[in-house]
Each structure stands twice: as structure tokens, then as C-alpha cells.
Amino acid sequence: MNRSSDWLLQAHQMPSVLEKYSDNGANLWKLNTKAAISVIKNSVQRPMHERPDVAKVILFGSLADGTAVPVDDPDILIVLFGSGRRKWLDRIDEFSPYLDDIGISADIFPYTIEEAERIPLARKAFEHCIVLVERACDLKLWRSAWKRKSAGQ
């Protein structure tokens, strides 16, 4: 199965995201960007409520900049106060289930604040993004509390 047909099959779980239209007798699909962003935004509320280590979740890439087509997958950056010494790949596995209900596979980038400040992909993501959800708090206080928690204090 190619990437295009795989995406279309997955997207049938959330039909409001794809809009079918005809052009010269051909049935075509276009992405309803507003609906896709809404579905993703609703989905990322859960980790924000369940995980105190989540500081912010942003959408970046083609969906955020308005150039997405039906075969594009959403790029999601999850900014964490700390990692609890978990490896980056392990963090992806931890957060993937939170996005299962969007109906399509997403590229998830769970970086700590420190990683996001130094990794070029994360820094570029912040240049043009949509903030889906963020914790309203004093960032310095949270970082300090997370460091103490991680150190076992």
C-alpha cells in the first residue's frame, strides 16, 4: 500500500478532515485544515491533563503553515519540563497512544525544554507553529520543581 492510500484509509476514521469533491468527473480529496487542527487539538488535551511534565504542545510543518495535502502527516512537538532520564525514542512510545484517536499517524517530537532550545528541528518548529495547548504557569518554578523531583528531593 502506498503512503497516499494508507493515509486515505486511516482518514476514514475522521471523515470531517477530508472533503471529497469532483473536478472534470474525477473524484478528488482535499484536506480540511481547520477540522484536522481541531481534531489534533482535542487529542492533545489528555496528555496535558494527565502528565505534569508536559509544558506545551505545538503543531508545526505543512499543516501549521497551511500547505498540507491529504498525504501529509501532522508534525507535533511536545515540550517537556524534564525527561526523567528517559531516552528520546522511549518518550515517543509514551506519547504515541495519546494521538491514536486522531485517525492518522503523526510525527511526534517529545523534547525537554533544554533539548528544544538546542536542537535545530525544534527551534525551526517554533518559527511557524500553532500552539495547541500550553500550561499556564511560571516556567522557572516548574523547571525548578521538575529538577528537584527528578533528583529525588
Burial class (CB in 10 A: 0-12, 13-18, 19+), 152: exposed
Q: Which amino acid makes up residue 86?
A: R
Per-domain residue ranges of the chain? 3-150
At 66, give phi and psi (nearest 5°): 80, 15
* 59 close to 129: Cβ distance less than 8 angstroms: yes
**Average pLDDT for the chain:** 81
Which CATH superfamily is 3-150 part of? Beta Polymerase, domain 2 (3.30.460.10)
Statement: residue 38 has pLDDT above 80: yes
Statement: residue 1 has pLDDT above 50: no
Q: Could you give the percent of the chain with pLDDT greater than 90?
A: 33
- DSSP-derived letter for residue 84 is T
Task: Give the pLDDT confidence of 43-94 residue by residue, as tens digits.
Answer: 899 888 899 889 999 999 999 998 887 778 899 999 998 877 788 889 999 9
Q: Residues 112, 113, 116, 117: what is their CA dihedral angle, to the nearest 10 degrees?
A: -150
To which H or E segment does residue 36 belong? helix 33-43
pLDDT of residue 27: 85
pTM over 0.85? The answer is no
Q: Sign of torsion, CA 49 55 61 65?
A: positive
